Copies of this chain bind each other. A is one copy, B any other.
Amino acid sequence: MDPQLITADQYLLIYNAFSFTFAAMAAATLFFWFGRSQVGPAYKTALTITGLVTAIAAYHYFRIFESWTQAYSVTDGVIAATGFAFNDAYRYVDWLLTVPLLLIELVLVMRLAQAETVSTSLKLGTAAALMIILGYPGEIADDNTTRAIWGTLSAIPFLYIVWALFKGLGSAIERQPESARGLIKQARLLTFASWGFYPIVYMIPYTSLAGGTVETGVQIGYTIADLVAKVGVGILVYLIAVRKSAAEYGEPGKPAAIAG
């Protein structure tokens, strides 16, 4: 994509979206980690991981913001490319870490048997990493055919994950406490819906839009998807952990039962 094609307004919109997302990810991280003291021992790791996902994303959005401001300069309202390329790879590096962890936080908050937790986390985590690795060569490709080939390959582990979430974990969800079951289904659906948004953004370059509009669509699209997948799903995981703690360890007003 020719960086020259972006307008000053598009540059600023993306600039502010990156700063917003850094702040939101960092704030969410602290919220999840503070929440650790308010849930039962079995759910502390789920909130640790939930906060790690947003912490890793906060770090990458900080780097993305820095890289973005380095790539362009706006003087008296006129935009110019500085010659430093914007590093798109930060996103994939972020996803390689956070996407497997996102599935693991869902598995942990379900509190399955220990052996099932390990094997499910391993299978879903590996599939998620594979999905990201296969998508990247397409993202950096100059031609849309290469983009389509890697995008299709990346869809295979994605479909496996969808199958595992809806079919494989189905019976485990039915065994969850009633107060949390609806929320767990919502978390699963939001994970599916937000992940389904990434391929749509991935395909924006296939449209006949101008270069600057494509770049803006891709950056804003991935940013919204990241917010929903990480902060949105994270808040649901937090609520599930709180409700299951109340069901299994007693209400927070009775501290003896939640100590730890």
Interface residues of A (CB under 8 A from B): 12, 15-16, 19-20, 23-24, 26-27, 30-31, 33-38, 40-42, 44-45, 48-49, 51-52, 55-56, 59-60, 63, 74-77, 83-85, 87, 89-90, 93-94, 96-97, 249, 252-253, 255, 258-260
Measured CA separation A20–B90 after assembly (Å): 8
Are A60 and B23 CB-contacts (below 8 A) given A84-B74, A89-B12? yes
Nearest residue, chain B, Cβ from A114: B243
In the bound complex, residues from chain B placing their C-beta under 8 Å from that of A16 are: 87, 89-90, 93
Q: How far is the CB of A39 from chain B (nearest CB, A)?
A: 11
Interface of A is mostly: helix
In the bound complex, residues from chain B placing their C-beta under 8 Å from that of A77 are: 85
Measured CA separation A16–B60 after assembly (Å): 11
Residue pair B252, A41 in contact (C-beta under 8 Å)? yes
Residue pair A253, B52 in contact (C-beta under 8 Å)? no
Are A27 and B52 CB-contacts (below 8 A) given A16-B93, A85-B77, A255-B259? yes
Measured CA separation A40–B55 after assembly (Å): 27
- Given A23-B60, A30-B55, A31-B48, 20 extra CB contacts under 8 A: A15-B87, A16-B87, A16-B90, A16-B93, A19-B93, A20-B96, A20-B97, A23-B56, A24-B97, A27-B56, A30-B48, A34-B36, A34-B44, A38-B41, A38-B45, A74-B85, A76-B83, A255-B259, A259-B259, A259-B260
Measured CA separation A37–B75 after assembly (Å): 49
Are A93 and B48 CB-contacts (below 8 A) given A40-B253, A74-B84, A84-B74? no
Nearest residue, chain B, Cβ from A255: B260
In the bound complex, residues from chain B placing their C-beta under 8 Å from that of A55 are: 27, 30
In the bound complex, residues from chain B placing their C-beta under 8 Å from that of A24 are: 97
In the bound complex, residues from chain B placing their C-beta under 8 Å from that of A83 are: 75-76
In the bound complex, residues from chain B placing their C-beta under 8 Å from that of A89 are: 12, 16
Question: Which 8 pairs show the lowest CB-CB distances between chains A and B?
Answer: A255-B260, A41-B252, A75-B83, A20-B93, A34-B48, A16-B89, A255-B259, A76-B83
In the bound complex, residues from chain B placing their C-beta under 8 Å from that of A97 are: 20, 23-24, 27
Q: How far is the CB of A28 from chain B (nearest CB, A)?
A: 9
Nearest residue, chain B, Cβ from A48: B34
Q: How far is the CB of A177 from chain B (nearest CB, A)?
A: 14
